Amino acid sequence: MNIVIIGGGFAGLNLAKELLDQKDIQVTLVDKNNYNFFPPLIYQVATAFLEPSSISYPFRKFFAGKKNLQFRLGELKTVVPAENKIILNNGELSYDYLVFATGAETSYFGMDNVQKNAIPMKTLNDAIEMRNTILKNLEKAAICKDIRKRRKLLTIVVAGGGPTGVEVSGMFAEMKKNIFQKEYPELGTAASNIYLIDGGPALLAPMSKESQEDTHKALTELGVVIQLNTQVTDYVDDTVFLSNGETIQTKNLIWAAGVSAKIFDGIPTESYGRGKRMATDAYNKVNGTENIYAIGDTCIQLTDAAFPGGHPQVAQVAIQQGLNLAENFKLIGKNKPFIPFKYNDKGSMAIIGKNKAVVDLPSPKMHFKGFFAWAIWLFIHLISLITYRNRIKTFFNWMIAYFAKDQSLRMIIRPDSSKKKSNNEPAC
C-alpha cells in the first residue's frame, strides 16, 4: 500500500510517525519545506527570543534509516484522481491513498493593501521577516530626528486577539519595558504604543470568560492598548484604518487575524466546505472522492456530535486526526472496519508575559492563571517539540531570557533577494 502525505505539520508528521516500520505500507511525505517547525512558538522566533533551529528540524534527518518512509521536497500543483497521481513542481508521484495535511494559510479577508503591506505570522519565513522588519525599524528610529516619523517606526499594531495576537503583544510589551530603553538609548523617552485590535467583544474568544478577563487585565497592565469590536479595514501609506473611523500611524502592522485553507486543482469544488476546508466523513475521507483523505486545519468534519460546526483549527485536532487515520490505515490489511474520529478536547492556553498565562481545562472544568498557568504552558510546549535537541535548546534559551530578561539573538540576517530563482524547476 502506497500512501502519499502532502504536508509535514502536526497532522502529517504524526500520521507518518505512526506508520513507521509497517511492512506493507510505503509512505512518501511531501512538503514545500525540508523541515518541520512548531507553529505555537513562531512568535518567539519573530521577537528574537528563540532561534529558528530551536523550533524546527529537517525531515530527512528525522526519518533517516526508516525503510518504509521517504521524503520529497516539492509543492503540489495538481491532483489527478482518475490516475491516482499528483503533479508536483518538480515531478509526479503515484498513490494508493492520498492524504492532505496542508494546514491553513493567512487570510486577509480580501484586503489587498493589508496583504501587500502587513507582516504575517504563519510560517518560519514570516517570523524571520518580522524579526528583520522590527529590528530595522528600531535602527531607523534610533537615528530619525523627525518625531512623527520616529513614532511611526516604533508603534506596533497587532491585528487579531487570538493566542498568537495576545502572545506577540505581550512579548513586545515586555521588550519595550526591559530591552528597548536599555539597548537603544538614542530613543530616550520617545513616544510609542502597542495596539491589539480584535473584531470580537473579547480577547481569546474560544476560551473561558475568566481567561478573557485575566488576559485583558494583564495586557493592559503591561501597557498594551486594546481595542475590541474593531476591525482593520485598510492599510495605506503607513496608516491603519479601523472600522470605528480611527486611524493609527505605524510602519508595523502585524497580521494575526485569520486563516484559510487552500484550494487544490483536481479536487472537486463540491468537496470543499466553509473556509475552503475539505469536507470529510467521520473517517476523514474527502467527500466525493474514493481514496483521498484530509486531516488537520485543511479539513472540516461535521460528523462529530460534540462539534456540529466542525472542529477548531488547533494543534490537538490535527495530532489526533493524524493518529486516528494511521490506525485506520493499519486496519486495511486486517480487513477490519475503520474507527470514526472523535476529538478529545484537552483544553486551551495562552501565554501573556513573564509569569503570566491562562489555562482552561474542560474536564474537570478548571481555570488557572499567573505563574502556575505560565509553568503549565512552558511544560506543554516544551514536551511538544519534535526532538530532544529542540527541547534542550529551547529550554536553555528560555532560562536565559527568564533570568536576564533578554536574549542575544537580535541579528538582522536577510538573503539577497536579487538572486531568487523560480521554484518551478525540473527535477534534474
Tens-digit pLDDT profile for residues 340-376: 999 999 999 999 998 999 999 988 889 999 999 999 9
pLDDT digits (tens, 9 = 90+) for 367-379: 999 999 999 999 9
pLDDT digits (tens, 9 = 90+) for 137-185: 999 999 999 999 999 999 999 999 999 999 999 999 998 888 887 888 8
The residues, any chain, with a CB within 8 Å of residue 53's CB and separated by 6 or more, are 393
Cα 251 to chain centroid distance, Å, stands at: 23
Tell me which residues are annotated as active site.
167
Residue 333 has a pLDDT of 84
| 7/25 Cα distance (integer angstroms) | 18
Asked whether residue 60 is assigned to any structural domain, the reply reads no
Q: Are residues 290 and 300 in the same domain?
A: yes
What CATH number is given to the structural domain containing 271?
3.50.50.60
Q: Are residues 208 and 224 in the same domain?
A: yes
Asked whether residue 64 is assigned to any structural domain, the reply reads no
Q: Are residues 289 and 373 in the same domain?
A: no
Average pLDDT over residues 101-116: 94
Q: How far is CA 349 from CA 315, 317, 323, 352, in A?
A: 12, 15, 22, 10
Residue 39 has a pLDDT of 92
Pairing label, strands 26-31, 35-37? unpaired
Q: Are residues 207 and 188 in the same domain?
A: yes
Residue 423 has pLDDT above 80, yes or no: no
C-alpha torsion angle, residues 178, 351, 217, 240 (rounded to 10)? 80
Phi then psi dihedrals of residue 386, to 5 deg: -70, -35
Output Rg (C-alpha) for the chain, integer angstroms: 22
Phi then psi dihedrals of residue 340, to 5 deg: -65, 150
Instruction: Give the count of domains, the chain.
Output: 2
Cβ–Cβ under 8 Å, residues 259 and 106: yes
Q: Are residues 325 and 351 in the same domain?
A: no
Q: Are residues 85 and 214 in the same domain?
A: no
The confidence band for 417, taking pLDDT boundaries of 50, 70 and 90, is: low
The confidence band for 422, taking pLDDT boundaries of 50, 70 and 90, is: low
Give the closest residue to 42 by CA, choosing from 366, 381, 415: 381
Q: Are residues 185 and 220 in the same domain?
A: yes
DSSP line for 302-343: ---TT-TT---SSHHHHHHHHHHHHHHHHHHTTT-PPPPP--
Residue with cell 534527518: 61
Residue 428 has pLDDT above 70, yes or no: no
Asked whether residue 183 is assigned to any structural domain, the reply reads yes
Domain that holds residue 395: 112-259+347-404
- Read off the pTM: 0.91
pLDDT digits (tens, 9 = 90+) for 49-91: 889 999 999 999 999 989 899 999 999 999 999 999 999 999 9
pLDDT top residue among 188 and 24: 24
Q: Are residues 227 and 126 in the same domain?
A: yes
Q: Are residues 253 and 272 in the same domain?
A: no
Give the closest residue to 265 by CA, choosing from 110, 86, 79, 12: 79
Mean pLDDT, the chain, whole residue set: 92
Domain boundary among 303, 332, 361: 332
What CATH number is given to the structural domain containing 224?
3.50.50.100
Residue 183 has a pLDDT of 86
Domain boundary among 305, 332, 359: 332
Give the closest residue to 206 by CA, choosing from 321, 81, 66, 311: 311
Look up residue 76 and give its three cell numbers.
Answer: 503540489
